[in-house]
Amino acid sequence: MDSEDDMMDANDVESVDDDFYSGEMDADCYSDDYGDYDDDVDEDDDDDSGPDYDFMAEAADDSDVVAARSQLSYTVLKEEDIRQRQEDDITKVSTVLSIPREAACILLRRYNWSVSKVHDEWFADEEAVRKSVGLLDGPVVRFSDAELVCGICFDTLPRDRIASAACGHPFCKQCWSGYISTTINDGPGCLTLKCPDPSCQAAVGQDMVNALTSSEDREKYARYLRRSYIEDNRKTKWCPAPGCEYAVDFVAGGGNFDVACLCSYSFCWNCTEEAHRPVDCGTVEKWILKNSAESENMNWILANSKPCPKCKRPIEKNQGCMHMTCTPPCKFEFCWLCLGAWSDHGERTGGFYACNRYEAAKQEGVYDEAERRREMAKNSLEKYTHYYERWASNQSSRQKALSDLHQMQTVHLEKLSDIHCTPESQLKFITEAWLQIVECRRVLKWTYAYGYYLPEHEQAKRQFFEYLQGEAESGLERLHQCAEKELQQFLTAEGPSKEFDDFRTKLAGLTSVTKNYFENLVRALENGLADVDSHAACSKGTSAKVTGICKARATKGKGNGKSGGSSRNGDD
């Protein structure tokens, strides 16, 4: 199986670079970037940081902007943390302003749970603030009678069955209960509950809710209050993963919005779609809209089987990597995405990985207007299909990789540890490979949305982009194949072997190399492909291309790196 991917000479790390770049490059170019990858692999024992995070942290070596990204810009809050923070904020305001807890709560909600805003407003004009939320200084009506008439049921009742907000308007406890309960069941508006008297603005706080309603209503109210703490606060949002009850507290800065929740879901804090770095939110929104508009046309792409390009029998895709092998006797090896022979994708044959590229059908000869229109319509659907299929395939490949990773962590690592007499702590290179695959599939997926919107006429940029994407994708396919297929033999092996050590070196090497490719890709896209000029300048021939990128990259570390923002240049 591994014969085809022999670009890795297991014991010679330097040869990795040479093979990947067809031996045309000046080896010094990459030494800075690659020289230390051995250490990365062995010493990175930061187990609990998610894949995204790791990825970013590793990318941080060459610019301040990137370095800023690597710092934790968010905190994931569990229910208990949320409760605690909210309680702390309420206590703070209540202490500083010398007002009851429930009044502090009403004020905080009014000012979107910003403690400093409450303080500012209160000390600027206490009276106006009190008025705006209905916090009265004292009662507006006073009664001295032993019995009072409830303003809702009109019954005359003894005082102990009557309750009032700060205003003093009398309502019986039973009517209060009905009134509060009705409002709570109407939704979060209950958080701004007022006295039932239509002319009165007196606020009704949580103390009254707790004193006058059922435990069920009290719990509902408390839930709305907690929700408000997250939803009305500009710094916090709920994790959008279904069923997840964690929230994320985000500190602005760094220009990167990717957030990894403790539930393992990664999402963009800005638009709450799944994490899509290095592609910007606008592109993602357009792409998702486009997908839902085209969903009927595209359903066939999500199908899990395609006819083998050689024998035409349907071949099911049940693996993550795109390298397909038809069942015997055909055994034709092909690429799931372009249906071309896999041998064309290899380095050894001199083939160049290009199935990420889209080339519009050539329009030659004379077309009449109708023909031209038909051709254009066909092309535009073809173009979308091309990008959508790759986007969707990477999506499902990532899902597969996630479940493989899980399987690895729960079952296979232990097994491997037994067979090969190696402590699990030394099998981390496998987990790391899978984490890298999961993250790279995500990035690669979004680069297809990016590619779709990259204007056709930006020839140089397209070329540069497709080159980087192709390099990254080809590296990832090798890594994925190695982690997925080549690992299998060691799961069924009899005992320890030299081959397993070779496998370790190969997989760790591929992980590191692929990581580098993706870092380049991410950096270039976040930079709006600004390095394209230095790329174009020396890319007259294919062989020069490599040197061009090499130079572009070398420059980046010093000058360009500082200006790297996450915005794609806005040419749509």
Q: What residue ranges bind Zn ion (CB under 5 A)?
A: 150, 152-153, 167, 169, 172, 175, 195, 197, 200, 202, 239, 241, 244, 246, 261, 263, 265, 268, 270-271, 281, 308, 310-311, 326, 330, 332, 335, 337-338, 340, 355
Q: Rounded to the nearest whole angstrom, what is the least distance from the CB of residue 105 to other proteins in the complex?
A: 22
Contacts with other proteins, 118-157, as mask; x by CB under 8 A: ---------------------------------xxxxx--
Applying CB under 8 A, the span of 39-47, 196-204, 449-457, 470-478 interacting with other proteins comes to: 196-204
Is the Cβ of residue 13 or residue 324 nearer to Zn ion in the bound state?
324
Hunting for tokens 């709006």 — which residue is that? 528
Coil, strand or helix at 250: strand
For other proteins, which stretch binds (CB under 8 A), given 190-198, 224-232, 240-248, 473-481? 190-198
CB–CB of 332/311 below 8 Å? Answer: yes
> Which residue's structure tokens are 């061009």?
548
270 binds, among other proteins, Zn ion, none (CB under 5 to 8 A by kind): Zn ion
Question: Which part of the chain contacts other proteins (CB under 8 A), choosing from 174-182, 491-499, 546-554, 557-565?
Answer: 174-182
Q: Which of 22, 71, 84, 182 is in the footprint of other proteins by CB under 8 A?
A: 182
Q: Do the beta carbons of residue 507 and residue 433 sit within 8 Å?
A: yes
Would you say 171 or 517 has its CB closer to other proteins? Answer: 171
First vs last C-alpha separation in the chain: 44
CB 426, min distance to Zn ion, A: 31
Q: Helix, strand, coil % (nearest 5) of the chain? A: 60, 10, 35
178 binds, among other proteins, Zn ion, none (CB under 5 to 8 A by kind): other proteins
Block residue for tokens 């968010």: 74
Compute the least distance from the CB of residue 211 to Zn ion, in Å.
Answer: 16
Of 45, 142, 198, 365, the residue at the interface with other proteins (CB under 8 A) is: 198
Question: If contact means CB under 5 to 8 A according to the sort of partner, which of other proteins, Zn ion, none does residue 151 touch?
Answer: other proteins
Q: Which of 38, 71, 36, 70 is nearest to 55 (CA)?
A: 70
Contact (CB, 8 A) for 450 and 478: no
Q: Minimum Å distance from CB 194 to other proteins?
A: 8
CA angle 536, 542, 548 (to 5 degrees): 40
Task: Tell me the closest approach of the beta carbon of residue 345 to Zn ion, in angstroms.
Answer: 6
E strand or H helix that includes residue 371: helix 369-407
Vertex 154: Cα angle to 148 and 157 (nearest 5): 35
Residue 340's Cα: distance from chain center in Å? 32
Can you say how many angstroms the Cα of residue 348 is from the centroid of all Cα atoms in its chain? 36
Compute the distance between CA of residue 279 and CA of residue 285 in angstroms, rounded to an integer: 10
Size of the site for other proteins (CB under 8 A): 14
- In eight-state DSSP terms, residue 345 is G
Is 214 a binder of other proteins (CB under 8 A)? no
282 binds other proteins (CB under 8 A): no
Q: Which of 321, 355, 482, 550 is catalytic?
A: 321
Among 47, 69, 51, CA closest to 60: 69
Whether 268 sits among the annotated catalytic residues: the reply is: no
Which residues of the chain form contacts with other proteins (CB under 8 A)? Answer: 151-155, 169, 171, 175, 178-179, 182, 196-198
Residues that are catalytic: 321
